Structures are given as C-alpha cells and as structure tokens.
A and B are shown apart, each in its own frame.
Chain A
Amino acid sequence: MSGAAEIVFERVTKRYAGRAGAALTDLSLTIPAGSFCVLVGPSGGGKTTALKLVNRLVAFDEGEIRIDGRSVTDLPAVELRRGIGYVIQQAGLFPHLTVGDNIATVPRLLSWPKGRTRARVAELLELVGLEAGDGQRYPAQLSGGQRQRVGLARALAADPPLLLMDEPFGALDPITRIRLQDELARLHREVAKTVIFVTHDIDEAIKMGDRIAILRQGGVLAQYDTPDAILARPADDFVAQFVGEDRALRRLGLIRLGDIELAPPPEEVDGGLHASREMSVRNAVSLMLGAGVESLVVSGEDGVPAGVLTLSHATELLRE
C-alpha cells in the first residue's frame, strides 16, 4: 500500500430501490494516480453515492470500478475498505476511544506490531497539526476542527493509496474550513495520494481540485476537467450556471502573479500599486479597478520590482 492509485469508473449505474430515477447514470471517469479529484454538484447529483461505490458502502448495479486495475469487487468488502482512507463530514470519531486509539484503528485491524502503530500515531498527530498530548484526549474534548484533523489522521493511518472524503469540511465554521483546506492541500502535496473529495461548494471544488467532475440531477456527468478548463469553457448552460457568472474572475483567482510572465518593470518606480508574487491575478485586478489605475508593480522576493501587470494583460490571460 502507499503511493497513489489510479481510479477508473466504467459505465457505472446505481439505482436505489423504491426511488424513481437513477442516483448515478452511466458514469465513466478516470482519476489519475496522485490527483485531487473533486466530485461536485447539487444535491441529488449522486456524488456521495459515487464515492461510496468505491469502498462498497453502496453496492452498484452496473459497470465497474477499478483501483490500479483491480476491480473493487475482487476483494472482500472489509479488506478493500482497510486499504482505503475514508473521511466523513462529522468525522465519526469513536467517542469511547482516545484520539490515539481512534487513529490506531486500521493499523490494529491490520495487526501491525504495537511499536509501529505507536510510532505511526505520533507521526500522524504531528502531520495533521495536533499536539502529541492530544493523543490521550477523548473526541468530546476537541473542537470541530480538531476532530476533523483526527478524522483525517485516522484515514491516513495505514498509508492507503486512496483517500475518500465526503464533505469533510461541510460542518466547520468558515475560518476553520479555510485553514483545513489549506492544510489538506499542503498535505496532498506531501503525501501524494489520490484523493476523491465530495462537496456541494463550487468554491471549495475550484480551490482544492486539480480535476473537477460536475454531476447533475440523476448522477449524470456534466463535465470532467481541470478547474481552469471548466471555468474557461463550461460544457453547457448547467455547468455555466453552476460555476457562476463570475467565472472569468474565478479563473484569474487560480493564477498567482508569480506564475505568469510579466512585462519588465519600469526604470523608476514611485508610488502606484504594489503586490507580492503570491497574490492572485484576480485580487490584483480588483486592486487596480479599486484604485482606478491600469497597471500594478509586482515585487519579487527581496521587494525589488520584478515586473508589471496591466489590465489588458489580465484580459489576455483569459483568452488562453
């Protein structure tokens, strides 16, 4: 286990007994190993169903799902699940176990030696930003954000190549949510696992995903592409409406000033607007519009002007 896995949905259909219409219709999707794929869409779009088909919490009717080429039905469900990290909205921590014992759940199911489990728990507490002493606490003693960190650590415990996350930050306050999103993004860069992440929040999808699958009513795949491509070329009216009329600005929000080629800085810089290379083009444009100017000087690492961004340059970026 470890490393990342490629996930393939092949013509997957799911109907729930007693419900009209399919929850998921003929879904085909290839999620490259190591990518962060967000399933997004309105409720009734079947995104959670799609997620739960992967670890077989829901049984599918037609089609196939493969993890690194192996069908999920090849293994007994219990064994399959032990090899897949699973994070849910309310964290679902075991209230009667300490944080450390919660995190150790899967390693113990897999009969890891005690020392290895203990070392892994310590490592994970640090990885998700908790104190070593938090391992002795009970879930009821933690804040919502801390509980979700433990949920994430527990899912990562046995180093699974795939992580399923079902609206993990949906119940958190906005500030905690943004902090955890940032940390998850950092973590994803560090641990390089395939992540399938369900949300109904398109902002979260654009921020987190390197690929986004938009599902509409009845579990029909509306579009599957990179965030930039979806914002630049929505496949249809449904997608266009779902991503919002400010999609051009959202695209600029994906680009940092340091990522683009800038016009050379002027010889002398006095007054005018300055911005760091970390700022998004969207925010830079907003600053220019607010100040009523058409250009802005981008400072390099040492504060020395590195280049200039103009409004027309920003417009160019959207044409690409």
Chain B
Amino acid sequence: MTAAGPVIPNFGGASSCVLRNGLFCLGWVRQHWSDTLAPALVQHLELTVIAVGLGFAIALAGGLAAHRYRRAEQPFSVVSALLYTIPSLALFQLLVPFTGISLTTIEIALVAYTLVILFPTIVVALRSAPPEVLEAARGMGLTPRQILVRIELPLAVPAIVGGLRIAVVSTISTGTIAAFLMPEGLGHPIIFALSEPHPFKTEIYAAGALAIGLALVCDATLVVARALLAPWSRRGA
C-alpha cells in the first residue's frame, strides 16, 4: 500500500474520513504527499517549464523573424492560431502515430498552445519602442542590430513577461490533460480518482489545489522577475 507511484486508496485500513469519502481528508494528503502528490507536482512543473521554455524559444525566433521581415508574421500567426483550434485530446490522437505515447507528444501539444499567446505578444512587444526613441537611436549612429539588442529587446521585456505569465498559467491548467495520455502531472491523481466508482474527493481537490498553487507561485515569480529585469518600468510615471 505504500508502493511507489499512484496508490489506490486503501479502504481497508483507512481513516473514517477516507471511508465515508469526506470532502477533504487531511490525513490522506499527509500520508500520500510523498508517494503521490509531490511527484505529480514536480512532474507538472517539469511539463510546464519545458513547454513554456520551448514555446518561448520558438516564439522569440519567430517574433524576431517577423520583426525583421514583416512577411513572416502572417504565416506564423495563422499556423499558431490553427494549432490552437485543435482540441487537445484530438491533437494527442493526431500525434500518437508519429511520436507514440510519450512525453514528446504531450510537450508538442503544450508547446503549440503557448505559441498562440507568446508569438503575437513578442511581435507587438518588439514594435512597442516609441518612434522618437528609435529615431534618436538611429540619429546617434546605432546600427539596426544595436537598436534591436540595446533598445527594442529591453523595452519589450515587460510585455514579454506579461505574455509569459499568461502562457505559464494556461499551460499549468492545460497540462492536466496530459494524464489522458500518460500518468504524468497533477492531472493523473484527478483522472485516477474520477475513474473510481465513487470518485475520491480528497485526491481531486488536493491535486486541483496544487495546480492552482503552482500557477500562483509561478505567476508571482514572473512578476518578481519582471521587476528585476526591467527596473525602469516600475519607477516614476
């Protein structure tokens, strides 16, 4: 009953709370924190970090390309929007023949969903430098590359971090569906509990609460990161 991995609630030797499937059995949470909830939380964080990290890298590359060559913007927008319209479960089905039942399949789907948020955010953010600032930069003899690296990118940081916050929170939420494919992430305890004849409420609520908590902590981390990366944006006017 204490084997590694997801554990079926042992009704035999369980507390009365578990036996009557109470609203929230703290004892069960304590008991299964290290074998069920904590691993799921860590997996979920990994799923999210990889998805948003890869999505950010792709969106940044695409955003820089669209910033440099305006023509690149539309195809990228259309593709990322189309990907977003595909229901996630259907996307898994589409991918399984190619990438199998694997983390790769899950990450491809999650990355695809971050693009629709991150790509337009980055494109708009890179264009947000005021025209007089760009004119002054050109007039002082900065090269186009120096203008990008020293002016446009730093000025885009607050808006890009704003996009990352949305992408992270939505990925944490969407990430629960990964469990339909593999026993990964905080979706797994939820789906597992739901699959019981009498869904075990505590497990569902605990995993749900952890997903919400993770989202809040990640969001707060990004708010702090923005303040550190762009100290100028919170001071003065």
Q: Which residues of A contact B (CB under 8 A)?
A: 55, 57, 77-83, 86, 88-97, 105-106, 109, 137-138, 140-141, 151, 154-155, 164
Complex formed: what's the CA distance from A86 to B136 in Å?
7
- CB of A96 within 8 A of CB of B230, answer yes
| In-complex Cβ contact of B132 among A88, A96, A109 (8 A) | A88
- CB of A81 within 8 A of CB of B237, answer no
| In-complex Cβ contact of A95 among B140, B141, B150, B232 (8 A) | B232
- CB of B132 within 8 A of CB of A91, answer yes
- CB of A81 within 8 A of CB of B132, answer no
Binary A-proximity of B202-237 (CB < 8 A = 1, otherwise 0): 000000000000000000000000000010110111
Complex formed: what's the CA distance from A247 to B131 in Å?
38
- CB of A88 within 8 A of CB of B135, answer yes
Chain A CB within 8 A of B137 CB: yes
Complex formed: what's the CA distance from A95 to B136 in Å?
12
Binary A-proximity of B114-157 (CB < 8 A = 1, otherwise 0): 00000000000000001011111111111100100011001101
Across-interface contacts of B155 in A (CB, < 8 A): 95-96
Complex formed: what's the CA distance from A78 to B237 in Å?
32
- CB of B235 within 8 A of CB of A138, answer yes
- CB of B141 within 8 A of CB of A94, answer no
Across-interface contacts of A155 in B (CB, < 8 A): 140
What is the interface residue range for chain B against chain A? 20 to 34
Complex formed: what's the CA distance from A77 to B137 in Å?
13
Closest Cβ of chain B to A271, distance in Å, is: 54
Across-interface contacts of A95 in B (CB, < 8 A): 130, 133, 155, 232
Across-interface contacts of B232 in A (CB, < 8 A): 95-97, 138, 140
Provide 17 A-B residue pairs closer than 8 Å at the C-beta atoms, listed in order of the A residue. Answer: A57-B135, A77-B141, A78-B142, A78-B143, A79-B141, A81-B138, A81-B139, A88-B136, A90-B130, A92-B135, A94-B133, A94-B136, A96-B233, A109-B141, A138-B236, A151-B136, A155-B140
Known contacts A82-B141, A91-B132, A96-B151; can you find 12 more A-B pairs with CB under 8 A?
A: A78-B142, A81-B139, A86-B140, A88-B132, A90-B130, A90-B132, A91-B136, A92-B133, A92-B134, A94-B133, A140-B236, A141-B236
Across-interface contacts of A164 in B (CB, < 8 A): 139
Across-interface contacts of A91 in B (CB, < 8 A): 132, 136
| In-complex Cβ contact of A78 among B134, B136, B141, B151 (8 A) | B141
Across-interface contacts of B130 in A (CB, < 8 A): 90, 92, 95
Closest Cβ of chain B to A316, distance in Å, is: 47
Across-interface contacts of B136 in A (CB, < 8 A): 86, 88, 91-94, 151
Closest Cβ of chain A to B18, distance in Å, is: 55
Nearest CB in chain B to that of A142: its residue: B236
The 4 closest A-B pairs by CB, nearest first: A92-B136, A81-B141, A82-B141, A86-B139
Closest Cβ of chain B to A173, distance in Å, is: 17
- CB of A105 within 8 A of CB of B139, answer no
Nearest CB in chain B to that of A155: its residue: B140
Nearest CB in chain A to that of B229: its residue: A96
Complex formed: what's the CA distance from A155 to B132 in Å?
14
Across-interface contacts of A138 in B (CB, < 8 A): 232, 235-236
Across-interface contacts of A109 in B (CB, < 8 A): 140-142, 146
Complex formed: what's the CA distance from A78 to B154 in Å?
21
Between A94, A96, A105, A155, the greatest number of chain B beta carbons within 10 A of the residue's beta carbon is seen for A96
Nearest CB in chain B to that of A110: its residue: B141
Complex formed: what's the CA distance from A183 to B56 in Å?
49
Complex formed: what's the CA distance from A158 to B151 in Å?
20
Complex formed: what's the CA distance from A155 to B138 in Å?
12
Across-interface contacts of A93 in B (CB, < 8 A): 133, 136
Nearest CB in chain B to that of A140: its residue: B236
